[in-house]
Amino acid sequence: MDWTEDESAILDQIERFAADVLAPRAAELDETQTFAICHLPMMSELGLMGLNLPEDDGGLGLSGPALYRAVEIIAGACGSTASMLTAHYLATDSLHLGADAELRARILPRAAAGALGAFALTEPEAGSNPADMRTTARREGAGYRIRGSKAFISNAGAAEFMVVFAKTDPDAGARGVSAFLVEPGVTPGVSVAAAERTMGLRGGHVFGVTFDCLVPEENRIGAEGSGFRTAMRVLDNGRIEVAAQATGIAAAALDASIRYAQERRVGGHPIADFQGLQWMLADSANDLAAARALGYAAARLRGTGTRYATESAHAKLFASEAAWRIADRALQVHGGYGYCRDFPLERYLRDLRIFRIYEGSSEIQRTIIARGLLA
């Protein structure tokens, strides 16, 4: 992949940070369930919180493919940190794509400098179909009264701002959804529950959030009824970033299995000499190459002004499922040691499992792809 000189320098810096800081602490974050915001000061200093934003919004303005590679590097070192970071990108993308210039100028440079964001779309009874949401935003005085609950909201416990989706017209389905900026620290009536106890990404905390708060009209992101369209455009980006996370972790698993196969000896020979194991490695390399190709193909469309829902669905679906196969084979290569927590393979598998669910489950991605075929 060809990068600009500036992008190459940024990616080199991210690789050093991932190797020197993230990877050595990844197991500790998982074991202790330490929130990945512990890395936020250094990530902010390096500009990682604004990689997805153009320079006009305070970011570094990476191209889509370079951003894909950046997320892949971070995820390969620490899945929890990548999860925290990409959830922040969902919030800032919402403002970049949907907000007016005044609201963007008020929030995005601060977000790129490290003010953590959260993307509050999912609800207890509205996950795969966000149009079923029950959270409402009704006119009250010079603003909106937001009432309702959200579930599994990454970063909410430490977020300085949230992008909250709510029904301004409960009878209009998806066309009645609007988006709002909510700043928990200055807005009374936002209650965040304790972090959920999750199977994987245990340092990338998710929370339930309850709202009964008043926000000013200028905090509405775009026109009334435009929220669902904004969310879908944001999720096109988010699904590419999920694909990048999946390929990053899968690459780490494949690298670990190659090293182990070359070092582990049976009958005086490294197990890498055995054809059956070689084929497992070859299948994993093939899966990884295909996942990356789909991911980069979708990433090249980012920022072009065209919709790429089908391409991002292809990337997310294939990468999330291929990464699971790669990590599972890697654990098999390690044998009993792979099942032990002293090795990272079981963590990779636990971290990867959610990728087939969030940002639209595998079943939703298949539906998106099929609709594109039948349109």
Active site residues: 359
- As a whole number of angstroms, the distance between CA 112 and CA 110 comes to 5
Q: In sequence order, what are the residues at sequence separation of 6 or more whose Cβ sits closer than 8 angstroms to the Cβ of residue 321? A: 356, 362
**Helices H / strands E in the chain, number of each:** 11, 10
What b/e string do you get for 265-282 counting C-beta neighbours within 10 Å, with b at 16 or more? eeeeeebbeeeebeebbe
- As a whole number of angstroms, the distance between CA 163 and CA 177 comes to 13
Q: Concatenated DSSP letters for 174-214? A: GGGEEEEEE-TTTSTTEEEPPPP--SS-TTS-EEEEEEEEE
What SS3 class is residue 158? coil
- Which residue, 45, 26, 61, is CA-closest to 248? 26
CB contact at 8 A, 17 and 45: no
| Torsion (CA) 336, 342, 344, 349 in degrees, nearest 10 | 60
**What is the CB neighbour count within 10 angstroms for residue 353?**
17
Q: Which two tokens stand for residue 294?
A: 């789909």
- Which residue, 184, 172, 301, is CA-closest to 226? 172
